[in-house]
Amino acid sequence: MQLTDSHCHLDDVRFDHDRAEVIQRASEAGVDRFVVPAVSRRGWGKLQTIAAEEVSIYPAFGLHPWFCDEHDESDLKLLPKLLEGAVAIGECGLDTGLCRFDMERQLHWFRGQLRIAAEHDLPVIVHGYKALDSVIREIKCYPELRGVVHSFSGSQQQADQLIALGFYLGFGGSITDERARKNAAVVQAIPVEKLLIETDAPDQSPSDHRGKRNEPAFLIEILARIATLRAIDAESLARICNRNAKELFRL
């Protein structure tokens, strides 16, 4: 089985001491491609270097809402110049649950990145924690836009709206929690053609690794859980999710 981790942060400082070993463990587990989104300008150069050295890493560049105090207008001017070889804009988005910055400030950076993505025909990787109605409203301003809401935790109605807009939904370690009944119901209901699997490593570890650093190798456990929920064999689901990632990111 060869899988694509559609969202992980292999550029994170927590992988600096053993990144090669993490990638090797993932490969041994059957995970051999990684979409890695940077979250602020200070990390763009590092990700460029890592991606140049590791062909299995597909970079994306963005401005995450958690780091609004780091973003500068010059970032939006520089971003289009980094996009050769990038598979997406992001991670970008809105967050009213964990983010300390007000919505207007977040919207400024989100709107700027949606515009750049539309202009360059690139998908967006969206963080939308407790702000999906606002995310959906902004996406509707760009009918040609495509992308994924990663680590989806919204309602079935929000899922349906995003899928109608052509977006994919990404699911990670939280789906392995038996208590995540709402997410499980969404996973079971959405078209499998709009489903992506991700780890969000080094965060959001699956249940069996709770409290430990997450790794792309654990994507196998997420695949197995979703396969059980969908009543489909894991290899068939892997092929579908790989195809979905390939189509969205043009891998």
Q: From the annotation, which residues make up the binding site for a divalent metal cation? A: 7, 9, 91, 127, 150, 200
Place of tokens 């401005």: 63
The structure tokens listed for 163 are 């899928």
In the beta sheet, which residues pair with residue 34?
Answer: 5, 57
In the beta sheet, which residues pair with residue 110?
Answer: none
Residues annotated in the binding site, as ranges? 7, 9, 91, 127, 150, 200
| Range list of β-strands (E), 72-179 | 88-95, 124-129, 147-149, 168-171
| DSSP letter assigned to residue 5 | E
Q: Would strands 3-5 and 168-171 be described as parallel, antiparallel, or unpaired?
A: unpaired
Half-sphere exposure of 104 (CA within 13 A, CB side): 0
Q: How far apart are CA 117 and CA 112, in angstroms?
A: 9
202 cis-preceded (ω within 30 degrees of 0): yes
CA geometry: angle at 85 spanning 81 and 90, to 5°? Answer: 70
Place of tokens 């929000």: 158
The structure tokens listed for 204 are 């959001």
Quick one: CA torsion of 84, 245, 29, 64, rounded to 10 degrees? 60
